[in-house]
Structure formats: structure tokens, C-alpha cells
Amino acid sequence: MSKDRKDGIYIKPDNPINAIMPYLMEKRCEAEVSKKDILDITNLVEWVDDKNKKLDFKMTYFQAIAGVLSKVIYNRPLLNRFVQGHRTYQRKYVSISFVAKNKLKDNAEERLIVLEVPEDINAIELAHKMAIDVFNTRKDGTNEFNNTLNILTKIPRFLMRIVTKVVKWLDYHGWTPELLKSGDSNYSTILLSNLGSIKCDSCYHHLNNYGTNSIVITIGTIRKEKGKSYVDITSTIDERIADGFYFAKSMKLAQEIISNPNVLEEKLSSNVDFDI
């Protein structure tokens, strides 16, 4: 009987430590590590500004950074793994998720947006795809996943406890129905939070035990210093999917891509040949 899931391919542990870790640290929030980095995005900002002179939509710096991180994932595949049901899996797709507010106000409604990142698109096409989804979500005022949540929150509390236990059991075995997975950030490769949009620095953000999301990244405000542009980002990652050296090297790759943004015009899945 296959150990694969609909959304992931089973990875057999290659050493005793990897085999035992999902049992010693059963919950994702028990295995999370957090790292803050300050990135020099001067070249990326200039690249975006130059592209916006020719594009028929306005690409944002946040969308460009999402493209950078998507390219890192394609080049560093261990980052696209997850642990669920005491087993490690390689996700079958790359996806990003983020929250879009209707307005920048405390009481403004939030909409979860989850986008699959096809391997044959580049960062500009991804930015366009993100812009369209944000526009449609704000226009419609909702999406399918938010509609599902609205239905679930109307059931009585005692029944909600039963439903959530059943859903978690299905999640453990990889049997969660698409109705509950589609549009849920808990099933994305990376959950992004653009805190810079509300003039905040990046901060630590916890992982969730439910679902398969192994990476959460918050992005702070872009600031200028001595003619250069910088942004701080804070990553929280499930250490069971790869070791610290792999994570650190992946962030160095992100900086290399940002410093050489022309590679973002190639397919996001194309290999980035940098000595890091």
C-alpha cells in the first residue's frame, strides 16, 4: 500500500535521526526555528521600478519578493517538504499564500489567498497572477474557502469540537477533502505576511500544527539607508524538513537572486547557478 498522499510523495528517512524526529517532536510548533535577515534589495527595487514603466499593471515589491522566494523553493526542494502523520513528504506543487485586506483599517475584512506557482512562469507572470487574484477577491468580497469557513462557524460549539477532531484525523492520514484544503493557507508551501504594508517591521510568526505548511515569512517595511534599500524578513521554519545549514544557505540564495534580479525573468523553476 502506497504511503503517498494526494498532495505529497512519501520520503523514506535516510538516517535514524530523521526517522525518530517526527515522534520526538510530534507537533510542528514544537520543531519551529526562527531567523531574522536584513536583505539589500536595492537592485530588486530598481528592477521593479524599471519593469513598471513597461507593464500594463503595477508590480509591487511584495510581489517581486514572492517571486524571489518561489524561485528559492524550486532551487531548494527540501524547503517544500512537510511532516504530517509522523511521516515526511515532498509536496507535489509549490504554492504561496497571503492575506489581502479590503482596506487598511482595523475592522476591514481579511481574505486568504492561496496561489499555486507553476514551474513554467516567471516572477513577472506570478506578480500579475497575484494582482488578478487580489482584485477578484476584493471585487467578489469572498472566495470559496472563506465561504466554507462562514458555514462552519455557524454550527453549535459542541458540534464544532467534533467536526474539528474529525478534520484533524483526516489531515493526519492525508484524507482531507479538497473543499477544506483549497484556499487554506495551512496547506501552502509558504505563508507570507506583508507587514510592510502597515508600516511594521517583520516579526516572529508561529507555525500551525494543522495542515502541511512548514514555512511562514513576515516581511517588514522597506527603508532607505545611504542610497540603498533594505528590508527585514523573519522566517519561521519546521526544522524537521531540513537542517539549519540548508536553511541558512537558502537565505543566501535569496540574497543572490535579489542582487541579480534579471534571473526572475526566467522560469521560476530554472536553476540558479550561484556559488553560495
Query: Concatenated DSSP letters for 208-248?
Result: -SSSS--EEEEE---EEETTEEEEEEEEEEETTSS-HHHHH
Angle at 159 between CA 154 and CA 161, to 5 degrees: 105
Q: What is the dihedral of CA 197, 125, 140, 49, to 10 degrees?
A: 40
Return the pLDDT at 133: 85
Return the pLDDT at 68: 97
- Asked if 62 contacts 70 with a C-beta cutoff of 8 angstroms, the reply is no
Helix (H) or strand (E) holding 10: strand 8-11
DSSP-derived pairing of the beta strands 110-116 and 190-194: unpaired
Return the pLDDT at 102: 57
CATH class of 8-261: alpha beta
Instruction: Enumerate residue ranges in the chain where pLDDT < 50.
Output: none
Location of C-alpha cell 541558512: 248
Closest CA to 124 of 73, 63, 214: 63
Return the pLDDT at 2: 81
Return the pLDDT at 108: 53
Edge-first strand order for the sheet with 8-11 is 8-11, 87-91, 81-84
Rounded distance between C-alpha atoms, residue 112 and residue 185, angstroms: 7
